[in-house]
């Protein structure tokens, strides 16, 4: 990636992405964020230039800049990604930490963040717009859908399938060959030894469905 990057989102995730890009030798041109209190302020020596709908800066994307969408709000991320696709005709770039490890024959979509120490096993299929936090371990042959969140230090066993928009908290262990359904949520520190249905929230060791 030769062009500078504009990061949409001046939050903790945006600052993480900035560090990843800079560690990889990429220049971060600036942040865009809808919190007007942040505008023209510096975050880690990079300025918050304006809002995410500021056409003066958006028009640079695809010509002179790349873009990365830094938010864990799925609805907002979808809206910003759609805008980049339809208005700027670009896909968000991946932010992959240079201390992360990717195995052989890994397939990766667009707009993913893979933080430091994350290990992605051979043959993993990772969709688009996912967040893989620090020191997560993704086993061989795991399939991960779009907009999935995997918390720091989680271990995803080989052959597991995690469907679109699922949320895996920090320090979770999922044994091999489990399916975690679409929009399911797994609470931090849980140990998952059985299937998790779409939309379910589970927690504990072993993880059990949480009602309410």
- By the 10 Å C-beta count (0-12 exposed, 13-18 middle, 19+ buried), 158 is classed as middle
pLDDT, average across residues 24-52: 95
Q: What residues are paired with 155 via a beta bridge? A: 137, 173
How much is the pLDDT for 52? 95
How much is the pLDDT for 211? 81
How much is the pLDDT for 3? 84
Task: Give the global pTM.
Answer: 0.95
Q: Is the pLDDT assigned to residue 2 strictly greater than 80? A: no
Q: Is the pLDDT assigned to residue 10 strictly greater than 80? A: yes
**% of the chain residues with pLDDT over 90:** 97
Report d(CA 101, CA 42) in Å as an integer. 31
pLDDT, average across residues 147-158: 98
Q: What mean pLDDT is reported for the chain? A: 96
Report, in this order, helix, strand and coil percent for the chain, each rounded to 5: 15, 30, 55
Report d(CA 108, CA 27) in Å as an integer. 22
Q: Is the pLDDT assigned to residue 22 strictly greater than 80? A: yes
Report d(CA 182, CA 11) in Å as an integer. 26
Least confident window among 2-6, 120-124, 139-143, 192-196: 2-6
Report d(CA 136, CA 96) in Å as an integer. 13
Please count the other Cβ atoms lying within 10 Å of the Cβ belonging to residue 204.
13
Domains in the chain: ranges and CATH: 5-93 (3.40.50.20), 94-198 (2.160.10.10)
How much is the pLDDT for 212? 61
How much is the pLDDT for 70? 97
How much is the pLDDT for 1? 61
Q: What's the pLDDT tens digit per position in 155-188?
A: 999 999 999 999 999 999 999 999 999 999 999 9
Q: What's the pLDDT tens digit per position in 79-116?
A: 999 999 999 999 999 999 999 999 999 999 999 999 99
Contact partners, residue 132, CB within 8 Å, separation at least 6: 112, 113, 114, 115, 118, 120, 126, 138, 150
β-strands 208-209, 201-203 pairing: antiparallel
- Mapped onto helix, strand or coil, the DSSP state of residue 17 is helix
């Amino acid at each position: 990636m030769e062009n500078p990057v504009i990061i949409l989102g001046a939050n903790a995730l945006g600052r993480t992405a900035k560090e990843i890009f800079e560690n990889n030798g990429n220049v971060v041109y600036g942040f865009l964020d809808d919190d007007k209190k942040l505008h023209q302020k510096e975050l880690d020596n990079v300025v918050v230039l304006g809002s995410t709908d500021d056409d003066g800066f958006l028009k640079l994307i695809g010509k002179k800049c790349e873009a990365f969408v830094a938010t864990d709000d799925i609805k907002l991320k979808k809206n910003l990604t759609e805008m980049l696709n339809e208005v700027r005709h670009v896909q968000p770039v991946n932010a992959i930490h240079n201390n992360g490890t990717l195995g052989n024959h890994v397939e990766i979509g667009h707009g993913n963040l893979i933080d430091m120490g994350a290990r992605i096993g051979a043959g993993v299929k990772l969709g688009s717009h996912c967040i893989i936090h620090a020191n997560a371990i993704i086993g061989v042959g795991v399939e991960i859908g779009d907009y999935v969140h995997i918390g720091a230090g989680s271990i995803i066993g080989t052959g597991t399938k995690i469907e679109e928009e699922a949320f895996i908290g920090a320090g979770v262990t999922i044994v091999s060959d489990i399916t975690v359904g679409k929009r399911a949520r797994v609470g931090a520190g849980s140990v998952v030894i059985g299937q998790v249905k779409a939309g379910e929230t589970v927690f504990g060791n072993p993880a059990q469905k949480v009602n309410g």
